[in-house]
Amino acid sequence: MSIFIDRSDRVLVQGITGNEGSFWTRHMMELGTAVTVGVTPGKEGQSVEGVPVYHTIRRAVAERPADAAMLFVPPRFTRDAVFEALDSGLKKIVTIADGIPLQDSVQIRKAALSCGARVVGGNTSGVISPGLAMMGMFPYWIERVYRPGRIGVMTRSGSLTNEVTAMVVRAGFGVSTLVGVGGDPVPGTRFAEMLPDFQDDPGTDAIVVIGELGGTMEEEVAEAMLSGAFTKPVVAFLGGRTAPAGRRMGHAGAIVTGGKGSVADKIAAFEKAGALVADRPRLVGELLVRALGPRS
């Protein structure tokens, strides 16, 4: 099974006529994603890769129903775009925008939770279930890295994700679903909120968590393991081991403040919960073999 998206989900793309929107729409469709309609204000009547474009989501879904929204929208317009998708009843939303204002991120998360919807991002590559569908911006050579399999991946990092996932594949495994929750201080979805999906998915045998300093999302995963809410094997890699306290590393969410969020604390929490923690990305595959046994 896939988590969040599969071939049956009809995807609406906001900002489809822009350079990024049109480029990644084509790539998503090539990977099996059912992109059925696009939205760009002022561009109604156009088409992108055969996908019709409308002024608004309300007009779009009235003629071409959708299940999910993929946003290629600038940061300052992301909140309104998410609100428009939520108001039209869409429950699965991915936004790749980097630099969404903090107050807007808080409002997006609050609105999504109140609607029973899930927003992935911002500052993310998106979500992919290899061989089935993708919402986001994963490179064209992903076939070498994102092969179908039975390992779930949750990540905060863009730069580390390809490297770590390549080690999963090198060890003989593949990916069931990868979810990039994003690197902002207030992500639309947190790691722990994805755990029930991976726990219930018969197609996922274990998960890999790609974390980093800052915040408490990794500790929340460890707490779910200790409580018995998540029982499948967990392998983790954490970036930012040498970062000094108070220094932001890479992006807004990667900062140690208030005595919390250090990599050392996260490693201790994972190890206490029984997770296997890799010192280097190349060791992730070896730890999966230790947890699950070698692949034939």
Q: For 196-222, how does the pLDDT look when each residue is reduced to its tens digit (9 = 90+)?
A: 999 999 999 999 999 998 899 999 999
What residue spans define the domains of the chain?
A: 1-123, 139-296
Q: Count the Cβ atoms, other than its own, within 10 Å of residue 247.
A: 11
Q: Please identify every residue annotated as catalytic.
A: 251
- What does the pLDDT read at residue 294? 84
Residue 68: phi and psi, rounded to 5, are -145, 155
CATH class given for the domain over 139-296: alpha beta
Residue 241 pLDDT exceeds 90 = no
Q: How confident is the model at residue 251 (pLDDT cuts 50, 70, 90)?
A: low
Task: Identify the residue whose tokens are 């959708």.
Answer: 66
Residue 295 pLDDT exceeds 90 = no
CATH architecture assignment, domain 1-123: 3-Layer(aba) Sandwich (3.40)
The closest alpha carbon to 98, from 119, 77, 124, belongs to 124
Write the CA distances from 36 to 2, 39, 53, 214, integer angstroms: 20, 11, 10, 38
Compute the residue count for the chain: 296
Could you report the per-residue pLDDT of 94-122, keeping only the tens digit for each? 999 999 999 999 999 999 999 999 999 99
Residues of 94-108 as b/e, b for ≥16 C-beta within 10 angstroms? bbbbbebeeebbeeb
The reply to whether 139-296 shares the fold of 1-123 is: yes
Q: What average pLDDT does the segment 169-191 reach?
A: 95
pTM check: above 0.75: yes
Q: How large is the C-alpha radius of gyration of the chain?
A: 19
Longest dimension (CA), the chain: 57
Write the CA distances from 12 to 17, 25, 89, 188, 248, integer angstroms: 12, 10, 12, 19, 35
